[in-house]
Amino acid sequence: MTSTDRIRVGITLGDMNGIGPEVILRTLSDSRLFQNIIPIVYGSNRVMNFYKKELGLDEITFQGAKDADQAVYKKANLISITREELLVEPGKVSVQAGKLAFESLQKAVQDLASNKIDVLVTAPINKKNIQSEDFHFPGHTEYLAKYSNVEDALMLMCSETLRVGVVTGHIPLKDVNTHITKQAVLKKILAIDKTLRTDFSIEKPKIAVLGLNPHAGDDGLLGMEEKDVINPAIHEARDQGILAIGPFPADGFFASSNWKNFDAVLAMYHDQGLIPFKSIAGEYGVNFTAGLPIVRTSPAHGTAYDLAGKGIASEQSFRQALYMACDIYHTRMENRELAANALQPQKKD
């Protein structure tokens, strides 16, 4: 393996009082990871040293770096992004933790844009204490979409057996139906189809589309969104050559294991898709932000303040997020090479 094959993985700290630092430390405690990647954590020596001591993980050492360009192969690298005196309080919400979480994300994204890192893996943030004049978004997905000048990114929850996207993400339930339009549903179907082809190398994706209402509207008895909005979007997608099928009643679709027959599922709103996904994927789920020019993944869990500092948080989801980021990066590179070679004029004998 050459140095160019090693993927530079930028890792954001997330909320320092949540389980982010712990799952990062536990993931990086496996030195076998360093054969293929160069991990670069954007955080704080003080925070990492605190958790190393609290959790008995003193065997993990970090190579300090002032810049991502100085990251060392076969080492866990750490860029300390603040000189502030930090008060680490596991399980507590603090303004300081929100400020550090944003500074970590901001620096990592800047390095990603400058090609100093190849992919981004984000530890969980508290969506409230991170809010400021510079961060006024519902979450990572919307922030990264804005930074990338992408109008509508797709939150795609992934495991080895199931992928679930949502039409509406982090909005109140009372506002969902106003955002369920034919164009919105169609755009998400198109986005899922594209990411399955380009990021997962699925040549002919099969996409299930869920209904909005109970029983998928019961032929209009329980709501007209399926007839007036979702069905027309599915038909238009099929006219464009996309294999979209539905709308399915959400409860029966997952209860009958019908999801196993599809490459991805499009849910109408957050909990409709994420509750069954997390029930099925367990601690191995990953949140992938599809539709961006960059690769970003994160664990499929939040800050989990109730577990922070107790040494019982599982790193499986974070580890899978790291693996998936690298896999998608490789897939994109391979597909670009194939496309470039296909465009080259063939030499004549």
Q: What is the Cα–Cα distance from 58 to 38, expressed in whole angstroms?
A: 20
Burial of 9: CB neighbours in 10 Å, binned 0-12, 13-18, 19+: buried
Confidence of residue 2 (pLDDT cuts 50, 70, 90): very low
Side-chain half-sphere exposure of 99, counting CA atoms within 13 A? 11
Q: Single out the residue of 4, 7, 2 nearest to residue 36, CA to CA.
A: 7
pLDDT value of position 182: 97
Q: Single out the residue of 291, 126, 309 nearest to residue 196, CA to CA.
A: 291
Angle at 99 between CA 96 and CA 104, to 5 degrees: 125
More confident residue, 196 or 336: 196
pLDDT value of position 340: 77
Token pair in block for residue 171: 């909005």
pLDDT value of position 131: 94
Q: Single out the residue of 110, 207, 102 nearest to residue 164, CA to CA.
A: 207
Residue 344 has pLDDT above 70, yes or no: no
For residue 230, what is the DSSP state? I
**Which pTM value belongs to this model?**
0.92
More confident residue, 169 or 15: 15
Query: Which single residue is written with the structure tokens 């160019």?
Result: 4
Confidence of residue 21 (pLDDT cuts 50, 70, 90): very high
pLDDT digits (tens, 9 = 90+) for 189-226: 999 999 999 999 999 999 999 999 999 989 899 989 99
Domain limits, CATH 3.40.718.10, in the chain: 1-150+292-349, 152-284
Segment 74-88 shows an average pLDDT of 93
For residue 86, what is the DSSP state? -
Q: Domain 1-150+292-349, what fold?
A: Isopropylmalate Dehydrogenase (3.40.718)
- The residues with which 34 forms a beta bridge, in sequence order, are none
pLDDT digits (tens, 9 = 90+) for 84-139: 899 999 999 999 999 999 999 999 999 999 999 999 999 999 999 999 998 999 88
Confidence of residue 339 (pLDDT cuts 50, 70, 90): confident
pLDDT value of position 281: 94
- The residues with which 154 forms a beta bridge, in sequence order, are 290
Instruction: Among 100-109, 118-127, 263-272, 336-345, name the one with the lowest average pLDDT.
Output: 336-345
Give alpha helix (H) positions in the chain: 20-28, 45-55, 95-113, 140-147, 176-179, 182-198, 225, 231-239, 250-255, 270-281, 316-343
CATH number of 152-284: 3.40.718.10
pLDDT digits (tens, 9 = 90+) for 276-332: 999 999 999 999 999 999 999 999 999 999 999 999 999 999 999 999 999 999 999
Which residues, 6+ apart, have CB-to-CB distance to 149 below 8 Å? none
